[in-house]
Amino acid sequence: MDYRILGKTGLRISRLGLGGIPIQRITAPEVRPLLEQMVAAGINYIDTARGYTVSEEYLGTALEGLRDRFVLATKSMSRTAEAMAADIGISLKNLRTDHIDLYQIHNPSMAELDQVLAPGGAMEALEAARQSGQIDHIGLTAHSLEVFQRALELPQVETIMFPFNIVEDQGLALIRECEKKNIGFIDMKPLAGGAIENAAVVLRYILQEPAVTVVIPGMATPTELAQNLAACEQTGPLTQQEQAVVAQVKKDLAGNFCRRCNYCQPCTKGINISGCFLFEGYLTRYGLEEWARGRYEAMPTHASDCVDCGLCESRCPYQLPIRQMLKTTAQKFGM
Ligand code: SF4
Ligand code: SF4
């Protein structure tokens, strides 16, 4: 296993880490063997979130006696100090630990980041928790380049998480900035939320980029873990055959993959367009049907509310056929 220092945190972590979203689709007792397999392979990085329902809790139970073998990272969507302090407390309890190595602000918009940084905002609670030793380091996760750019300038932020994979390389220049500024870069969604099937080639492609400190594919089975490990153990440049796979994936997904940049907003009818596609991905590719349906149904407007005005498509930098894609989403969810 290859290890890197996670930017300013100074933490020494394996270049392959566990993305904790799919923990939701297995049972609590199934998590322990996964962690044991990780220890045996030298993987020491675990990422989860308050928003991944049972993920923190299942991991906490499975970590009994293994806590010190892992660097634990989680995150919260809370934007106020009060809510963030409460979430940190819940995460500590769920993960059954007295300190969390890295606590991240989960995917704020620019407006939400203003709130996080303002008096009474979530950053106050994070800094207080760092001061008291409940958490050791502060990070931020983003999907928009504006938020990424701004996070690079925030002195409190020690790590940034952003998607980077074969079809999502829009953040590459900023990812390389992270390296220059000694900010740890955590690569989320390496398989583009399950849209890319050839995990081995994708991981090899990602790990060729030196500015990526750690990549965290979602893993929930020993087979997935073994496959990802095998890919990470292969060194050397991509073969011609692998390069052909990369080119094919780029071609296949170029016209129908949403990068969640939200440049298409605001929608005339208030539809959370990227959210619709995100939950559709969880429904069809991630095996998280109940969770995806619950989240989708809870949104105030749905794909079926689209009135075909086309405004969103004129704003999408990837020229996605959003209206057609929303029709497919509406069919799959029945609303
Ligand atoms: S086409 Fe549909 S999704 Fe796009 S802005 Fe108009 S109503 Fe919203
Ligand atoms: S539909 Fe296009 S503009 Fe909207 S979030 Fe997806 S990639 Fe960005």
Cα(310) to centroid(ligand 1), Å = 6
Mean pLDDT over the full length of the chain = 94
Q: Which ligand 2 atom is nearest residue 259's CA? A: 7
Rounded to whole angstroms, the Cα distance separating 245 from 202 reads 9
Cα(312) to centroid(ligand 2), Å = 8
- Name 33's Cβ contacts closer than 8 Å, sequence gap at least 6: 222
Q: Is 261 in the pocket of ligand 2 (CB under 6 A)?
A: yes
Site to substitute for ligand 2 among 261, 265, 323, 325, most atoms within 8 A of C-beta: 261
Q: Which ligand 2 atom is nearest residue 261's CA? A: 8
Question: pTM for this structure?
Answer: 0.88
Which residue has the CA at smallest separation from atom 7 of ligand 1?
306
Q: Is 167 in the pocket of ligand 2 (CB under 6 A)?
A: no
How remote is the C-alpha of 71 from its chain's centroid? Answer: 16
Which two three-digit tokens encode residue 178? Answer: 């992270």
Which residue has the CA at smallest separation from atom 2 of ligand 2?
316
Cα(309) to centroid(ligand 1), Å = 5
Nearest to 58 by CA among 22, 89, 83: 22
- 158 backbone dihedrals φ, ψ, rounded to 5°: -100, -20
Q: Which ligand is nearest to the CA of 269?
A: 1
- 30 backbone dihedrals φ, ψ, rounded to 5°: -80, -10
Q: Which ligand 1 atom is nearest residue 308's CA? A: 1
Which two three-digit tokens encode residue 142? Answer: 């983003």
Q: What is the pLDDT of residue 210?
A: 94
**8 A C-beta contact, residue 208 and residue 238:** yes
- Cα pseudo-dihedral 101, 149, 271, 291, rounded to 10: -20
* Whole-number Cα distances in Å, 269 to 74, 112, 272, 303: 33, 22, 9, 10
- Whether the link from the prior residue into 321 is cis, omega within 30° of 0, is no
Residues of the chain with pLDDT under 50: none
Rounded to whole angstroms, the Cα distance separating 315 from 264 reads 5
Cα(113) to centroid(ligand 2), Å = 20
Q: Is 309 in the pocket of ligand 1 (CB under 6 A)?
A: yes
Rounded to whole angstroms, the Cα distance separating 289 from 284 reads 7
Site to substitute for ligand 2 among 146, 147, 253, 258, most atoms within 8 A of C-beta: 258
The C-alpha angle 150, 153, 157, rounded to 5 degrees, equals 95
Rounded to whole angstroms, the Cα distance separating 282 from 97 reads 29
Which residue has the CA at smallest separation from atom 5 of ligand 1?
267
Q: What is the pLDDT of residue 262?
A: 85
Site to substitute for ligand 1 among 263, 301, 307, most atoms within 8 A of C-beta: 307
Cα(23) to centroid(ligand 2), Å = 27
Rounded to whole angstroms, the Cα distance separating 68 from 51 reads 24
Q: What is the pLDDT of residue 155?
A: 97
